Structure 1
Amino acid sequence: MNTYEAMLLLDNREVKKGWDGLKEKVDGVLKKHGAEIIVAKRWDERKLAYEIKKQRRATYYLAYFKAPPESLAKMNFDLKLSEPILRHLILRVEEVPAEAFEPEKEFQVEASSDSEGSGASKVDAVEEAVDQEEVVVEEVVEAVAVEEIVAEAAAPLEADGTEESSSTTPESDEKSE
């Protein structure tokens, strides 16, 4: 059996419904294929670089496990079909890093954000404002594109109108003299 590292991006809607149930579901998919989980940790919730399945944020989940190499194909297939998993990557590692066995920091982050007031909510508010700004920018770009299409459609009509009016311009008067 080889040792593997799995990084999964989990749907935040599912995480908010209940972390324990989601963790059991993800671990169950791994164990179903003969994986022996060494250590598994929930990481941060982060903003994604681009949308995945219409989600802009995801919770990272890191797991180290031992599994037979022939089980990876089926494991990857099941992870891909699992609803709460947005993306996953499994890599073979020689050994589990020592940092993986350190206590989880998620509880420290949650406790410190409560004592600081609403530090985490401020970050969420800023990120939400940025998301809304992106939507507004997209709408403005679409409006400009529509205006350009209208201007292009009106250009032939204006060109026809300018030819008729050019006969009364001072230049045409000079030519007739």
Structure 2
Amino acid sequence: MPLYEHVFLARQDLAQSQVDALAEAATNIIETNGGRVVKTETWGLRSIAYRIAKNRKAHYVALDFEAPSTVVAELERQTQINEDVIRYMTVRVDEHEQGPSAMMRRNERSERDRGERGGRGRDRDDRGDRGDRGDRAPRREEADA
């Protein structure tokens, strides 16, 4: 059977339990029509590049599955009807990615890095050789000397 990746964006005002119910409904559509879901990932509430139907953020969910093409048509038809889904995309792939997806690895890495620093930005003491002036050009008196 062909392999597919299906990603959908759900409205920002939904609760996580409602997003999980949408993912479960998609899984049921796939399995009742003869497909098999290999992996389901919830990427969480993320900012989107541009506003879609007055939403600036969306809940991202990704499904990796194998199924005949008729299942994809039914899944997309049902997804299109649902008012809670603002965008979706299904792509046929040669093989599924093993382990967590790039988005999940990125989330883990950024959380790990942020945890050590305690937030955004650099420490004040980490200025290197620049002193108090930062990257500014030297003062006129210093340049003439």
Give the TM-score normalised by structure 2: 0.62
Instruction: Give the structure 2 partner of residue 144 of structure 1.
Output: none
Does the residue aligned with 1:59 lie in a helix, a strand or coil? Answer: strand
Distance 1:13 1:69, change over 3 A: same
Instruction: Give the structure 2 partner of residue 11 of structure 1.
Output: 11
Between Structure 1 and Structure 2, the one with more helix by share is 1
Distance 1:18 1:77, change over 3 A: closer
Whether the 8 Å contact between 1:41 and 1:63 is mirrored in structure 2 is yes
Instruction: Give the structure 2 partner of residue 74 of structure 1.
Output: 74
Does the residue aligned with 2:95 lie in a helix, a strand or coil? Answer: coil
Displacement of 1:36 after TM fit? Answer: 0.7
Between Structure 1 and Structure 2, the one with more strand by share is 2
Which amino acid is 2:77 matched to?
Answer: F
Does the residue aligned with 1:97 lie in a helix, a strand or coil? Answer: coil
1:109-132 CA deviation, whole Å, 9 max, x = no partner? 9x87xx79x96xxxxxxxxxxxxx
Instruction: Give the structure 2 partner of residue 160 of structure 1.
Output: none
Q: How many residues align?
A: 119
Q: Which runs of 5+ in 1 are unaligned?
A: 120-177
Instruction: Give the structure 2 partner of residue 48 of structure 1.
Output: 48
1:59-94 CA deviation, whole Å, 9 max, x = no partner? 111111001123322221111112221111111111
Give the TM-score normalised by structure 1: 0.52
Distance 1:41 1:94, change over 3 A: same
Instruction: Give the structure 1 partner of residue 39 of structure 2.
Output: 39
Distance 1:10 1:64, change over 3 A: same
Whether the 8 Å contact between 2:29 and 2:75 is mirrored in structure 1 is yes
Instruction: Give the structure 1 partner of residue 85 of structure 2.
Output: 85
2: CA distance, partners of 1:63 / 1:28:
12
Percent identity of equivalent pairs: 25
Does the residue aligned with 2:14 lie in a helix, a strand or coil? Answer: helix
Whether the 8 Å contact between 1:33 and 1:75 is mirrored in structure 2 is no
2: CA distance, partners of 1:75 / 1:21:
15
